[in-house]
Amino acid sequence: MTYDETLHYLYTSIPVFQHSGASAYKPGLGTSLALDDLLAHPHQAYRTIHVAGTNGKGSVSHLLAAILQEAGYRVGLYTSPHLVDFRERIRVNGQKIPQDYVVRFVERYRSDFEPLQPSFFELTSTMAFAYFRDEKVDIAVIETGLGGRLDSTNIIHPILSIITNISYDHTQFLGDTLEKIAAEKAGIIKEQTPVVIGDVTDSSILNVFTRKASEMNAPLTSSVQTSPIMDSTLEKDGLWTFQTASFGTIRGELGGAVQVRNAATVLTAVLQLRKLGLTIKDDNVREGFARVVELTGLMGRWQTLQQSPRVVCDTGHNTGGWQYLSQQLKNERKKYHRLRMIVGMVNDKDIDGVLALMPKEADYYFTQASIPRALPAETFAEKARAHGLQGTSYPTVRAALQAALADASPEDMLFIGGSTFVVADALSK
């Protein structure tokens, strides 16, 4: 098979949550363990860090990978979903998994894994674990997909577990209260394995993690309680400067209000990794923050795509993410003449909750991503009007973006988001 034929097989023969949603969700570890047996437990060949959470886990995972790379380690990075290329999910020292490896992996194991009927994510996780072993990585940063307890990645035995935060998302799978969602995320906490809890201030949610950590004899550290960042400054270029207690002054490469909390989580994790014996110098931390995009290929986090007019995209797609995006857009108010929002969502999110957080003074270009889960643009526009948001519907992200660019003056700002997949379509143009 060619690479394109292999991708077509993966996308059409195996349930893909990215495209299909609930019908592709397959909780439980049975198939993942069977695949792991099939490949002789590849994840046991290297150390791992496990990252879960509702929002921020992608940024945290990429920042940790960048810092570890700067420290001289050979680093695997497994994240999801991808934006443009499937291979973004699986990287070693920032380099995407080669096309021929993907082809050879499927050809070699297809007859073995088909009887197991794995989900797309189960198979992709197994591919990542095998690739990292073949590439002889020293350590791999593994991001969960949904939840944690029953997530396909939860067969690993990490040296450190990280839970970034908790907010409402995927409630049909994880539970309809924050405490239930937290309990699912807490499933990655392992026996006698240190765990870092990030942006969690609600005592009832923190208690869920504290109880689970106590049950597992796992030392727990909260970035909110340790406060590794003493001061943060949003610079004129939209990026952050952090004054830290242990690493001096750090200049971040990622924009957006949420990155202050993500940075605190990462710095707390680095201190724990040092205690575990990893050699990470202060300069490694500063360079990892300053060069995370270059080192890891991270995209879609308050990413500026062009200037004059300024075009920014962000993958925030739930109420937790939009609490920060709403504030970020307010922070930008003095920098533009008019705000133009190219937005769409998928049909299994808290659409009204997100719409309530979107700015009412903007001009809207409602659209839909090129996946079956996308909410039709007209339906989205109708829901938006009920929240006082006015605009026009467009059948594709490209059409919406072209219309917004045609309407915009050089002093305007265009925002692209609402869904990871809207951003993906914009970056694929």
Residues 355-366 pLDDT 10s: 999 999 999 999
Q: In Å, what is the CA distance from 300 to each residue of 133, 215, 304?
A: 28, 37, 9
348 band by pLDDT with thresholds 50, 70 and 90: confident
Model confidence pLDDT, tens digit, residues 79-114: 999 999 999 999 999 999 999 999 999 999 999 999
- Please report the pLDDT score of residue 255 as a whole number: 87
> With contact defined as beta carbons under 8 Å apart, do 378 and 393 qualify?
yes
Mean pLDDT across the chain: 93
The percentage of the chain sitting over the pLDDT mark of 90, rounded to a whole number, equals 82
Provide the pLDDT for residue 12.
80
Q: Residue 171: what pLDDT?
A: 54
Res 22 pLDDT > 60: no
Tell me the C-alpha distance between 51 and 16, whole Å.
21
Query: In the prediction, which pLDDT does 334 show?
Result: 87
What number is the average pLDDT over the span 341-353?
Answer: 93
User: Hey, what amino acid is at 50?
Assistant: H
pLDDT bracket for residue 234 (50, 70, 90)? confident
φ/ψ of 149, rounded to 5, equals -55, -45
pLDDT at 184 over 80: yes
- Reported as a single tens digit per residue, the pLDDT across 238-293 is 889 999 999 999 999 998 888 999 999 999 999 999 999 999 999 999 999 999 99
Task: Quickly state the pLDDT bin for 23 (edges 50, 70, 90).
Answer: very low
pLDDT of residue 21: 43
Q: What confidence score (pLDDT) does residue 308 get?
A: 95
Task: Quote the CA–CA distance of 218 and 50 in Å, as a whole number.
Answer: 14
Between CA 4 and CA 170 the distance in angstroms is 30
In this prediction the pTM is 0.93
> Among 167-181, 218-232, 379-393, which is the least confidently predicted range?
167-181
- For the cut 70, the answer to whether the pLDDT of residue 295 exceeds it is yes
pLDDT at 337: 95
Instruction: Give residue 252's pLDDT.
Output: 95
Q: Is 147 within 8 Å of 25 (Cβ atoms)?
A: no
The pLDDT assigned to 99 comes to: 98
Per-residue pLDDT band for 26 (boundaries 50, 70, 90) equals low
Q: What is the reported pLDDT for 14?
A: 67
Whether residue 99 contacts residue 107, with contact meaning beta carbons closer than 8 Å, is answered with no
The per-residue pLDDT for 119 is 86
* Res. 18: pLDDT tops 60: no
| 72/238: higher pLDDT | 72
Taking 50 as the threshold, does the pLDDT of residue 17 lie above it?
no
CB atoms < 10 A from the CB of 224, how many? 16
Rounded distance, CA 382 to CA 391, Å?
10
Q: What is the 3-state secondary structure (H, E, C) of the chain?
A: CCHHHHHHHHHHHCCCHHHHHHHHCCCCCHHHHHHHHHCCCHHHHCEEEEEECCCCHHHHHHHHHHHHHHCCCCEEEECCCCCCCHHHHEEECCEECCHHHHHHHHHHHHHHHHHHCCCHHHHHHHHHHHHHHHCCCCEEEEECCCCCCCCCCCCCCCCEEEEEECCCCCHHHHCCCHHHHHHHHHHHCCCCCCEEEEECCCHHHHHHHHHHHHHCCCCEEEHHHHCCEEEEEECCCCCEEEEECCCCEEECCCCCCCHHHHHHHHHHHHHHHHHCCCCCCHHHHHHHHHCHHHHHCCCCCCEEEECCCEEEECCCCCHHHHHHHHHHHHHCHHHCCCEEEEECCECCCCHHHHHCCCCCCCEEEECCCCCCCECCHHHHHHHHHCCCCCEEECCCHHHHHHHHHHHCCCCCEEEEECCHHHHHHHHCC
- Enumerate domains of the chain plus CATH numbers: 3-296 (3.40.1190.10), 303-427 (3.90.190.20)
pLDDT tens digit sequence for 123-166: 999 999 999 999 999 999 999 987 789 999 999 999 999 999 99
Quote the pLDDT of residue 24: 42
How far apart are the C-alpha atoms of 198 and 295, rounded to whole Å? Answer: 23
**290 with 243: CB under 8 angstroms?**
no
